[in-house]
Structure 1
Amino acid sequence: MNDRKIIALPDNLKTQLGVTSGSKIEVLTGHGEAQIKVAKEVQSTGWRWLSPILTFLTTVGFVAYFLVRNSYQIPLSGSESLTTLILTLTTLACYISFGANLIHLKRKKVATIEAFTWRSFPTLTIAAALIYFMVMSGLFWIGGTLFKGATFDLLTSTILFAVITQLSVQVAGSVASMLSPRLLTNTFIVVIAGGVILAMLSNQNLYWWKRSLSFLGTTHATDSWEFNAALIFAGLILVALIDYLFVSLKRVFPGDKRLLIMRILLTLLAINLAAVGLFPNDDALHLIHVRVAGNLVYIIIALIVGVKWLLPNITKEFRQISWLMAGGLVATEILFEIVGYLSLTAFEILAFLLAFSWTIMLFERLNDYLEPSQMDIYEVK
């Protein structure tokens, strides 16, 4: 079956575009207009040569590290282990692979990457590396729990390291070519939800739920970095997502000052979310933690109350759901502060779920504004 899309163009337009029969063009449609430009063949080999080289160099570093230390039986977990070297060397390799492909695609002006600005590059690459670090930490934590005390000889460890690194580097490079607002939104959901759940599981024996949700980020908790890192990474992802969305939305709603106000509020939301993880609720940082956590609540309330005026063409359904969410936040506050029905943990979890759910709905709505824009590849007749 032939899935090619054929388009007939006037001869004078072919001349202006510099195309002939059989050439491929990109047609971007949406918002009552269509844009045509010559499609560029993007060769991915420019960055893929990095994959085997990065794998080779990091594997050499892995072997050299243990040879220098005269270690020939490598534990799965611990300070000097397979896990530790993967979390350092492989994370660095993934950072380079992701960044190299992102630069390659940006320079080639690939449609899906072009909307990302260069100022988003540090945020995206750092967030990608840290997310990989967190995901692998979770997987190896599970592996270390299931295979407690497991060790491997140097050859087996080297093979495992090389295979994991090669797969990781390939995936990191491929993810760069799939970047989109939807992907960043889904990644934000997975990172923050996964980090919180992992922190809960790590502290189940400490009965964290008898204290508070913020206890998971304190020095009294087990592996508190997981909880704090999830919030910091989520904040970084939000910054990149906000930048991408609002650069694109300026083309849909040119000169709309309301979007600027919403962008400022959402950026402050992302910064305060990261700050909650950066300043955990320890004794020395308690006041700062309470302040930034309180700022999150105020910003969410401001967004919910102001969404009617800040969001162009808002639907009645979204406005009603927003007010229901706001009512839920007020109700949980009353049940906790005045009635005393809810515990601190229950209050924090309910408030977090309501605010988190509404934020995701807002970003989905912002994504919907860009959805009508569709890019198709046509072959000139």
Structure 2
Amino acid sequence: MSTRDRVLPTFGGLSAPARLTVEGAGIVVGAATFVLAGVVALIVFWGSSLPIAGPDSVGQFVAIAAGVVAFLAYFVGRLWRREGPTPFQIAAAPDGRPHRATGVDIFDTFAIALAHGILALLGWLVLGAVLANGFQDATVYFLSATVLAGAATGVTAYAVFLSAAQMDLMRLSTVLAAFAVVGILASMLSAPDPHWWMKHLSALGMSQSVSSLTFNLTLIVAGVIVTAIARYATDARGIVDPKRRAAVVRVRVGLILIGVLLACVGIFTLNISILLHNVSAVGMVLVFALVVFWVRAALPTAPLSFFVLGYVFFATIIAVLVLFAVGYYVLTAAELVAGVLVFSWLIVYLRMTGAATAELRAQQQNVHVVEE
């Protein structure tokens, strides 16, 4: 076998040497961020003893700095790959022409970068609150606070840079899941009413507080991300069968509607419009039901277990809604179960689509090597 027939092992779409190069670049980005954030923190913290969390604390500084750094590091990671301002590597057209970044690609990249920034912001806030609870009444001297702030932002920049440089549909599914979980958790922990759960999940977004802002912003950004990735997860290029192409288009429209309706749930809170809020929430579940039954024709190569999972999730949502209607479940429980199942299915669908895309790309590479 000649050298040109040898195929280097790949991880996450990158060959082993390329992956090492990405890791090296990530270390440089993290180190530079560590120095820059450390200098800023030293100036801000000089001569002070700071609380771990709360106003004017180490946790607050780290959260804000990490949020800004994560947003910028995502763009740096995408531009470093020299693929243009696209959310991730997009397969070439069937005629071999490379994909060129469009205005929609730039918007999608911005949305995913914003998700990374908010995820870093909320993640460090939650961690700061947990640490403050474990070290009650403790303070941090300014030199220690400077090192901690630099290290936290440096690690954030390193992780987000690698996330951006290796981003694909499967990795994006993990980001989407982490973003939703951290956002809702942060809203719950900071809710001004500790008994919000006695009403309904949407009660988190009804007050004029940081908790409500976090809750609604999480729903809006998550909806934008779902809408943004819908066209990448339903790439119909190269599909010859008209029935399958039509099924792919239906799934794309369904995913876009789910994203739009999810964002509307955050935009139209119950204290703004009960009708629009409920229509958005119920509409999202109804569209999800349609997508579950459409996806089989759109992604016939997926394993049977994936389709069965969708049917089971749909049946579970119906059962939970019935239990709520007869008074067995409170509304909060019904909303949580339905929301978790819809999000879980979306994440699994993204992973299935990503796996199918990676498999197709590998087959094309093998064919190309054999032809050479």
**What is the root-mean-square deviation of aligned Cα atoms in Å?**
3.9
1:239 and 1:267 in contact (8 A); partners too: yes
CA distance in 2, matches of 1:286, 1:146: 40
Equivalent pairs, count: 346
SS of aligned partner of 2:50: strand
Q: Give distance in 1, aligned partners of 2:21 and 2:340.
A: 43
Distance 2:361 2:289 in 1: 34
Pairing partner for 2:135 from 137, 142, 147: 147
1:99 corresponds to which letter in structure 2? F
1:169-227 Cα shifts (integer Å, max 9, x gaps): 22221222221211111222233234334544555982333211222333188833443
Give the alignment partner of residue 63 of structure 2, picking from 83, 87, 95. Answer: 87
The answer for the alignment partner of 2:126 in structure 1 is 138
Q: What 5-or-longer segments of structure 1 have no aligned partner?
A: 1-6, 9-20, 29-38
Aligned to 1:105: 81
**Matches of 1:320 and 1:252, distance apart in 2:** 25
1:308 Cα deviation after fit: 4.9
Matched residue SS, 1:341: coil
For residue 72 of structure 2, the aligned residue among 96, 117, 128 is 96
Matched, 1:63 2:50: no
Higher strand share: 1
Q: Report the residue type matching 1:65 in the other structure.
A: V
Q: 1:107 aligns to what SS in structure 2?
A: coil
Identity fraction in percent = 20
**Whole-Å separation in 2 of the counterparts to 1:232 and 1:268:** 13
Does structure 2 retain, via aligned residues, the 8 Å contact 1:76–1:150? yes
Kept in 1: contact 2:265–2:281 (CA 8 A): yes
Using the alignment, how far apart are the partners of 2:167 and 2:351 within structure 1? 16
2:265 maps to 1:276: yes
Name which one, 1 or 2, has greater alpha-carbon Rg.
1
- The aligned counterpart of 1:257 is 246
Q: Report the CA distance shift for 1:220/1:254 in structure 2 as closer, same or farther (over 3 A).
A: same
Q: Indicate the larger mover: 146-155 or 123-132.
A: 146-155
Equivalent runs, 1:216-365 vs 2, <5 Å: 216-219=204-207, 223-247=211-235, 250-251=237-238, 256-281=245-270, 283-312=271-300, 318-337=306-325, 339-365=326-352
Matches within 5 A, 1:188-207: 188-202=176-190, 206-207=194-195
Residues 343-370 of structure 1, C-alpha deviations (whole Å, 9 max, x = no match): 2223223333443343344334433432
Question: Which protein, 1 or 2, shows the higher relative CO under an 8 Å CA cutoff with sep ≥ 6?
Answer: 1
Query: Partners in 1 of 2:5 and 2:74 — Cα distance?
Result: 31
Distance of 1:77 and 1:186 partners within structure 2: 27
Gaps (5+ residues) in structure 2? 11-16, 92-98
Do the aligned residues in 2 keep the contact of 1:106 with 1:113 (CA within 8 Å)? no
Indicate how the Cα distance of structure 1 residues 54 and 233 shifts in structure 2: closer, same or farther if over 3 A, else same. Answer: same
1 CA distance for matches of 2:258 and 2:273?
Answer: 20
- CA distances 1:120-177 after superposition (whole Å, capped 9, x unpaired): 3212222221211121121112122222332222222112112222222222212222
User: CA–CA distance in 2 between the matches of 1:41 and 1:146?
Assistant: 38
Once residues 116 and 122 of structure 2 are traced to their aligned partners in structure 1, the CA distance between those partners, rounded to angstroms, is 10
CA–CA distance in structure 1, aligned partners of residues 85 and 269 of structure 2: 41
Query: Post-superposition shift, 1:253?
Result: 6.0
CA-CA distance at 1:298 after TM superposition: 2.4
Cα gap change, 1:142 to 1:40, in 2 (>3 Å): closer
SS of residue paired to 1:206: coil
The SS at the match of 2:359 is coil
Q: Distance in 2 between matches of 1:178 and 1:210?
A: 42
